[in-house]
Amino acid sequence: MENIKTEVKIHETTIHLSNNLITIKAIGGYDKEQAMEIREVIKGIFNEAREDINILVDLNRAGKISSEAREIFRMLSENHKVRKIACSGMHVMARVIAGFVLKISKHGKYRFFSSNEEALKWLNA
């Protein structure tokens, strides 16, 4: 994955790539346009990846996500390159977002955790 930047910032959100792990620090809310920008970065990573990718989404500072953005993220999560997705966050909005993701997921590859440490342990298992 030589052609992929290891860290990209889109608005307030940071997307970091390291050893087949995408870490997304979600900050603020997301509308359709922001979700599309994030999708393009992550699709670029998927296209360059030779192995499956784990994703850690830190929702501690996430805000409201529009229905269009949720649909974009849902479709992105179903990419065949995704091995597991772990969401972490303690505040109420994070739990609402994670609950939505878990509800729509068709696979057992999604889990919600209170901390990034717990999430990373599961992703690496």
Query: Mind listing the pLDDT tens digit for each residue in 33-90?
Result: 999 999 999 999 999 999 999 999 998 888 888 989 988 988 898 899 999 999 888 6
Residue with tokens 């342990």: 121
Query: Mind listing the pLDDT tens digit for each residue in 23-35?
Result: 999 999 999 999 9
> Most confidently modeled of 16-20, 84-88, 119-123?
119-123
pTM for the full predicted model: 0.85
Q: How confident is the model at residue 93 (pLDDT cuts 50, 70, 90)?
A: low
Q: Which domains does the chain have, with CATH numbers?
A: 7-124 (3.30.750.24)
- Please measure the distance between the N-terminal and C-terminal CA atoms of the chain and give it in whole angstroms: 23
